[in-house]
């Protein structure tokens, strides 16, 4: 078979570009709606509200309830893990880097707040339902579905 020289030249160039990226070690800088993490931390609370999504903005513009205030104060003040049941607290830039243990109805799920979580609720990161794991066929199954071939 004849070798296509044009394809081999393309592959050589592609490999060179990939190796160049590895050598330069390009990493993507985090930005939230055009602001870097340092800029977000310097912004006053009113300006942070303006760049959050509408649901988060509406929730934060109202006054926090007693449990949310306690969780907010604990997250800002502590250097260690914060254990809480409050799932409806919106993550703001000041919480980034904190470790939260959030109750999911059965146990506490431990996670670190990352930059990508800004604007989301705490409860989104502690799942309350397990994934369904089916076993064999149950009672009342037809005879054909009871047959489980060995692979």
18: confidence class by pLDDT, cuts 50, 70, 90:
confident
Asked if residues 91 and 122 have their Cβ atoms less than 8 Å apart, the reply is yes
Predicted pLDDT at 69: 95
- pLDDT for 29-60, tens place per residue? 889 999 999 999 999 999 999 999 999 999 99
pLDDT at 146 over 90: no
Give the global pTM: 0.71
pLDDT at 105 over 80: yes
SS3 92: coil
The domains of the chain, with CATH numbers, are: 37-125 (3.30.860.10)
CA-to-CA dists, residue 109 to 25, 86, 87, angstroms? 34, 12, 12
Q: Mean pLDDT, to the nearest integer, of 124-147?
A: 77
Asked if residues 59 and 89 have their Cβ atoms less than 8 Å apart, the reply is no
Q: Looking at per-residue confidence, does 14 or 35 come out higher?
A: 35
Q: Looking at per-residue confidence, does 53 or 2 come out higher?
A: 53
Measure the CA–CA gap between 17 and 134, rounded to whole angstroms: 46
pLDDT at 19 over 90: no
Measure the CA–CA gap between 77 and 60, rounded to whole angstroms: 19
pLDDT at 137 over 80: no
Per-chain mean pLDDT for the chain: 85
CA-to-CA dists, residue 110 to 67, 113, 132, angstroms? 19, 10, 22
pLDDT at 68 over 90: yes
CA 118, distance to chain mean position in Å, is 9
Which of 2-16, 51-65, 74-88, 118-132 is predicted with the least confidence, judged by mean pLDDT?
A: 2-16
User: What residues are paired with 108 via a beta bridge?
Assistant: 103
5: confidence class by pLDDT, cuts 50, 70, 90:
low
Contacts of 89 (CB under 8 A, 6+ apart): 64, 68, 71, 72, 121, 122
């Amino acid at each position: 078979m004849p070798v296509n020289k044009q394809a081999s030249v393309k592959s050589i160039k592609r490999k060179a570009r990939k190796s160049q990226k590895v050598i330069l070690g390009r990493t993507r800088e985090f930005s939230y709606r055009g602001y870097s993490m340092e800029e977000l931390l310097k912004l006053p609370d009113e300006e942070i509200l303006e760049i959050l999504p509408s649901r988060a903005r509406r929730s934060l513009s109202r006054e926090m309830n007693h449990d949310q205030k306690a969780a907010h104060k604990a997250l800002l003040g502590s250097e260690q893990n914060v254990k809480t049941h409050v799932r409806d607290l919106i993550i703001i830039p000041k919480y980034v880097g904190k470790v939260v243990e959030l109750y999911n109805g059965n146990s506490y799920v431990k996670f670190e707040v990352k930059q990508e979580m800004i604007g989301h609720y705490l409860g989104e990161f502690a799942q309350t339902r397990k994934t369904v794991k089916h076993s064999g066929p149950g009672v009342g199954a037809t005879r054909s579905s009871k047959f489980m071939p060995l692979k």
